[in-house]
Structure 1
């Protein structure tokens, strides 16, 4: 066992957590001897590639060992979460959208149901408004940079027209605004402590997040 543990440490492997059973082998006697003999091990790269996984035991019908089933993507894609962007309050039309959505009411319901309806209506209206007025900041930034890059390529072989120079100049101004807006979004969605310590985009941070997500899932309930 010591040699096995030393090999695991040298290979930098981590053991997958088995859901539902503590042991995988039994001698089948009246006072059984139970052991955890069957295990799964993973590398850091595998955990990063498959963060959503479940290791389950199966029926030991043909052996004293429990077969193990490794399911990938068993938890399904995460539900889309509403995120309130701080820069929305500076955009034109934000207050009007919130006021119009909050004014919606339901008849003959209790105050808690009324509040829930208003909040959900604000969420839906803000999503529609954001998609129509703001859109994808990353996509707009990538498109603007690509057009500027094409103009730069053409400038090496010919003289750009006046409208092309004006377009490139306007896109460069837009890129500065979009880049600043993207930094604001990323700063809001990151933890200040991790940014200060420099772990926001490290491999260690992502592995810890994967481990926490696996531990926080409830795979089954026993009544």
Structure 2
């Protein structure tokens, strides 16, 4: 039985939300395959904050973090929220869109190179060198942006794998996207409002019910206990060296924490 639809990279780039669906057999012994190009509409709601590693390549971002972190007295949670807002402001007012900046630089470099073909001026040569330096920085930011979104771990950045990272991001989104669910009555639904209600109801039933636990359920089974030395070690103050060792042993681009910061940010 045919149960797959085969597409190439160009098709995935053109239809990033496309997906295939196997329909029921009716007048044939084969299941028809329906290919939807545009997918389901985006669920309404605000997008969660996600730290962009490309921000760290900008020379002023470290100052933005320092200013936000020291702006308000409080714990780590309050300070991370301040860094969140400062990062969003930095992204919209200073960092701007990488791809728009790239197009502008390509146009400026092309104009200077055209002028250099007609006249050899030192100021134009210096300007071209400066623009090429900015352009290479943008290429690295673009690659780092794609690498972070792709979640690909076995390929390293610095090799200009932007196209590969973009394709891996599309593939990951295809696997993670929920196009429909079997609802409580057993029917298949793709309606966004119904899907949201079903998901909310499922987790309410999963985590909202409480059951009494019988403490002596295991009877007289001996329970292992910690030694005095182990208990003392557990309540010892945590040193800076221990925290640093734990953070730097983490993979930099794994799933972000509850506030949208990956280990790369803390490193």
Instruction: Calculate the TM-score normalised by the size of structure 1.
Output: 0.52
Choose the corresponding residue for 1:185, options 127, 145, 148. Answer: 145
Structure 1 unaligned segments of length 5 or more: list them.
1-5, 18-22, 24-38, 54-72
What is residue 168 of structure 1 aligned with on the other side?
128
Q: Which of 15, 37, 44 matches 2:21?
A: 15
Distance 2:122 2:92 in 1: 33
* 1:127 counterpart (83, 88, 94): 88
Call closer, same or farther: CA 1:184–1:92 in 2, change over 3 Å. Answer: same
Which position in structure 2 is the counterpart of 1:144?
105
Match of 1:68 in 2: none
How far apart in 2 are the matches of 1:131 and 1:74?
Answer: 23
- Partners of 2:149 and 2:5 in 1: CA distance: 35
Instruction: Quickly say closer, same or farther: Cα 1:168–1:10, change in 2 above 3 A.
Output: closer
Secondary structure at the aligned position of 2:112 is classed as helix
Q: Which runs of 5+ in 2 are unaligned?
A: 7-18, 25-30, 157-162, 181-191, 206-267
**Secondary structure, aligned partner of 2:177:** helix
User: Structure 1: how far apart are the matches of 2:63 and 2:57?
Assistant: 12
1:115-148 Cα deviation digits (max 9, x unpaired): 6543322200122134334322222222111111
Cα distance, 1:215 vs. partner? Answer: 5.2
When the two structures are aligned, how many residues end up with a matched partner?
Answer: 163
Q: Residue 220 of structure 1: SS of its match in structure 2?
A: helix
The 5-angstrom pairing of residues 73-222 of structure 1 reads: 73=41, 75-76=43-44, 79-86=46-53, 88-89=55-56, 91-103=58-70, 116-156=77-117, 158-193=118-153, 195=155, 200-202=165-167, 206=170, 209-214=173-178, 218-221=195-198
CA distances 1:132-174 after superposition (whole Å, capped 9, x unpaired): 3432222222211111112333444x22544333222221122
Cα distance in 2 for residues equivalent to 1:180 and 1:11: 35
Which TM-score applies when normalising by structure 2? Answer: 0.45
